[in-house]
């Protein structure tokens, strides 16, 4: 199948060359023929109903840019009447009674929901190997050597890379949009914290979680972001800002753009091939008129230990609601209330979730709160100050998205620390609440994709997407399709 971007599909729908119903049926068929395990739930009846409604709106004169375009949603967003599992046995039977604001906003733009994508359990993971519903395969691997798609939004990334969805939503707590995007040759954007409502998005770490788009191009990501954002009074962290068109600056030339390259992002642990690809991208930006400046983020080494205190602590608090009393899994074997709590949580949560709950509970416990959680929050402020200082002299910070390309299934599952290191370059943006993106930057000697990481000052998503889009006008890495063997009938 020839790669089709969201922008191209919008044009086809607008011209009448294809209907939303035909397009949706095509993607539903491709999903049924795929063996990536990218989806947990597909509601064909809902998708076709939404597609018919979109076609009727177009027939009545509505020319909305995304009207009738099918997309997939990470199974962390509640959709009324549809199962929402967060990749966990704990919520295997949970059917959401309401719809997340991000999804409701997209519904208002007329997007069609294909289904809910697989993910690391409760968004805790960097490989999509912790899901109760099984591993997701990276379309850039093959059946003889299965590769992880990254996590936690691995199902969304795999679906878009395999072209069984043209775009998808994800969430990013420490890199869970950008790392899968890098592993799957996609464009992934984490907006400024507060840009997208968290209402109806099941919480992992409330001060870090943020929704965002996964697509083939920056142009597509801008369209997605236009449909996702907006103030929500039901989310106390939602930013009350005027509506913004994130596509407005895409064509702005980059002459004079000041790019900061942190020394700390190019040290030990970075795959030399990825370093070479990133350096080539920086030279491309120079040819486009950008100015390169070496900078320092001296406290960036504190990001990983800070994150792995703050995120588990907040997860421990957020996941305490899953006790078997009100909804979700409940153990059938118990003699009293306390035993029911214990058995329910032991049965319902997987190993990685249990690990983080225990770490977080310890960090918040009496006598340790000041030593761990409070200290980590102070380090978070120091890290944010580093960014503020660098942004006084630079417009954007660039570096690698990940220290390596996609690794084999099971390659790091027995070593949590090695797994956590996959997010070493992405976590700082979450701690500081900055908008950040990963864009395709080329392939290594094994033909596996790598990502270029971009970070801009707060609320500068339009500028971030402009910088990404201009690079994609000069390169075609983002248009390289993944091998077709994962979808039956593809050549």
Catalytic positions: 74, 152, 176
**For the sheet containing 187-190, what is the strand order?**
39-42, 112-117, 70-74, 168-171, 211-215, 187-190, 436-443, 449-455, 396-400, 258-262, 291-295
For residues 3 and 229, what is the distance between their CA atoms, to the nearest angstrom? 27
For residues 126 and 139, what is the distance between their CA atoms, to the nearest angstrom? 16
* CA separation, residue 425 to residues 21, 32, 203, 373, 476 (Å): 41, 36, 23, 21, 24
For residues 60 and 55, what is the distance between their CA atoms, to the nearest angstrom? 9
For residues 131 and 47, what is the distance between their CA atoms, to the nearest angstrom? 24
CA dihedral sign of residues 262, 263, 268, 274: positive
Query: Taking phi first (over 0 means left), then psi (-120 to 50 degrees means alpha), and beta for anything else, what does residue 269 get?
Result: left
For residues 422 and 68, what is the distance between their CA atoms, to the nearest angstrom? 36
231 and 105 Cβ atoms separated by less than 8 Å? no
Q: What angle do CA 273, 278, 284 make, to 5 degrees?
A: 130
114 forms beta bridges with: none
Query: Taking phi first (over 0 means left), then psi (-120 to 50 degrees means alpha), and beta for anything else, what does residue 185 get?
Result: left
User: What b/e string do you get for 337-352 counting C-beta neighbours within 10 Å, with b at 16 or more?
Assistant: eeebbebbbeebbbeb
For residues 470 and 468, what is the distance between their CA atoms, to the nearest angstrom? 6
């Amino acid at each position: 199948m020839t790669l089709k971007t969201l922008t191209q599909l919008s044009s086809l729908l607008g011209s009448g060359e294809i209907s939303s119903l035909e397009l949706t049926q095509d993607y539903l068929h491709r999903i049924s023929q795929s063996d990536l395990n990218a989806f947990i739930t597909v509601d064909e009846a809902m998708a076709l109903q939404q597609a018919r409604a979109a076609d009727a709106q177009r027939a009545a004169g509505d020319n909305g840019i995304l009207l009738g375009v099918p997309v997939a949603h990470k199974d962390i967003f509640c959709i009324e009447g549809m199962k929402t599992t967060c990749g966990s046995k704990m919520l295997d039977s949970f059917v959401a009674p309401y719809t997340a604001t991000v999804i409701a906003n997209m519904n208002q733009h007329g997007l069609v929901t294909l289904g809910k994508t697989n993910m690391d359990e409760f968004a805790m993971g960097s490989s999509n190997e912790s899901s109760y519903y099984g591993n997701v395969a990276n379309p850039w691997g093959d059946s003889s050597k299965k590769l992880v798609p990254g996590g936690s939004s691995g199902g969304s990334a795999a679906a878009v890379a395999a072209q069984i969805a043209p775009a998808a939503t994800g969430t990013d707590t420490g890199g869970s949009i950008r790392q899968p995007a890098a592993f799957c040759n996609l464009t992934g954007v984490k907006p400024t914290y507060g840009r997208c409502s968290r209402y109806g998005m099941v919480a992992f770490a409330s001060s870090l979680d943020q929704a965002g788009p996964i697509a083939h191009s920056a142009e597509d990501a801008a369209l997605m972001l236009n449909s996702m954002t907006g103030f929500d009074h039901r989310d106390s962290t939602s930013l009350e800002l005027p509506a913004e068109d994130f596509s407005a600056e895409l064509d702005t030339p980059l002459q004079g753009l000041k790019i900061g390259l942190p020394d700390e992002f190019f040290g030990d642990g970075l795959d030399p091939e990825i370093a070479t690809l990133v350096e080539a991208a920086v030279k491309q930006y120079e040819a486009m008129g950008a100015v390169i400046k070496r900078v320092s983020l001296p406290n960036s080494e504190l990001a990983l230990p800070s994150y792995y205190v703050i995120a588990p602590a907040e997860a421990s608090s957020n996941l305490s609601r899953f006790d078997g009393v009100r909804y979700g899994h409940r153990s059938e074997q118990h003699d009293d209330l306390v035993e029911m709590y214990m058995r329910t949580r032991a049965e319902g949560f997987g190993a990685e979730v249990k690990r983080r709950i225990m770490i977080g509970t310890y960090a918040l416990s009496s006598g340790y709160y000041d030593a761990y959680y409070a200290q980590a929050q102070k380090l978070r402020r120091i890290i944010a100050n580093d960014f503020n200082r660098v942004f006084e002299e630079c417009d954007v910070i660039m570096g690698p998205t990940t220290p390596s390309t996609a690794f084999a299934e099971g390659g790091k599952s027995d070593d949590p620390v090695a797994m956590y290191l996959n997010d070493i370059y992405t976590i700082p943006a979450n701690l500081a609440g900055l908008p950040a993106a990963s864009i395709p930057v080329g392939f290594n000697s094994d033909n596996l994709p790598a990502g270029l990481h971009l970070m801009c000052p707060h609320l500068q998503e339009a500028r971030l997407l402009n910088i990404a889009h201009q690079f994609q006008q000069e390169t075609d890495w983002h248009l390289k399709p993944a091998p077709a063997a994962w979808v039956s009938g593809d050549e």
